[in-house]
Structure 1
């Protein structure tokens, strides 16, 4: 089964981000706005139970922190993806690093760039128009993060939460 590890921002932040995504992101209906800590990976039932134990340890040792979103950016020319840039913090970097060491499967395809995608799979003309328009907007969002989620992909392509891990909570 395919899994991933993500942070979902608060509902007000998701609503703001979805105002862009519903028009420009074909994955809008497949997963809510999120910040990816570990991109999709394959795991069987035994592996996922081992990883859940690791994720509980990580959550236990993590304190809540804030994220700031203050810029529209892009992965062009590699892909015509437009995203909201999340300021890199030590907490975000450390979380991502811990999910790519030890018992966690798979290597990184890309370096960790904290972001929330708002538009993707655009033609060159669409990309130019949309990026030109969106990049002019002032984006200032702040959110308190106190959990991350292990998600998995259903047969219809939709991603859903497998388990949520709250920071600082004593898991047994």
Structure 2
């Protein structure tokens, strides 16, 4: 089965992001707006029990994460993804690093660029037009996220929460 690990931002940011994703992201119905901490990986039922135990320890040894969003950006020309840029910080980078050790030690395919996708799989012209208009948004948002989620993929391609992990020793 395929699994992944993500942070979900507040409803306020999810609503803003979904107002764009409805039109510009074909994965809109498959997963809520999120910050991917670990891309999809395969694990057996036995493996996921071990992984979940490791994630509990990782969560206890990690701090809640301050999310700061200040601008819209794009991965173009590598691919036509438009996103809200989440400013990297020590707590976020530390958690990402921890999630690539132990049973999950596979190196990430791409450098970690924390973001929340607004649109993807756009043609070059559509990407240029949409990015131009969305970049005019004045996005200034900060919040603290106190949990991350282990997700699994259903047969229809959608993702659902397998388990939620609260960050920090106070959240045991």
TM-score by length of 2: 0.96
Deviations 1:63-122 (A, max 9, x none): 223110111000000100001000000011011101111211532110000000100000
C-alpha distance in 1, partners of 2:165/2:125?
A: 41
Specify the alignment match of 2:96 in structure 1: 96
Count, aligned residues = 170
C-alpha separation between the residues in 2 aligned to 1:116 and 1:122? 16
For 1:30, the equivalent position in structure 2 comes to 30
- Between the aligned partners of 1:126 and 1:39, the Cα distance in structure 2 is 26
The SS at the match of 2:102 is coil
Q: Segments of 4+ in structure 1 off by > 2 A?
A: none
Taking the aligned partners of 1:7 and 1:131, their CA distance within structure 2 comes to 24
2-structure distance, mates of 1:26, 1:127: 14
- 3-state SS of paired residue (1:116): strand
Unaligned runs of 5+ in 2: none
Structure 1 gaps of 5+ residues are none
Whole-angstrom CA distance in 1 between matches of 2:57 and 2:89 = 20
Which residue does the alignment assign to 2:44? 44
Distance in structure 2 (CA, Å) of the matches to 1:63 and 1:90: 10
Please tell me the root mean square deviation across aligned C-alpha atoms, in Å.
0.9
Who is 2:78 aligned against? 78
Residues of 1 paired with 2:9 and 2:146: CA distance?
A: 10
Q: Structure 1 residues 2 and 105, CA, compared in 2 at 3 Å: closer, same or farther?
A: farther
Q: Distance in 2 between matches of 1:22 and 1:141?
A: 21
User: Helix, strand or coil: the match of 2:39?
Assistant: strand
Structure-2 separation of matches of 1:135 and 1:76: 14
Query: What is the CA distance between 1:167 and its match in structure 2?
Result: 1.3
1:136 is paired with a residue whose SS is coil
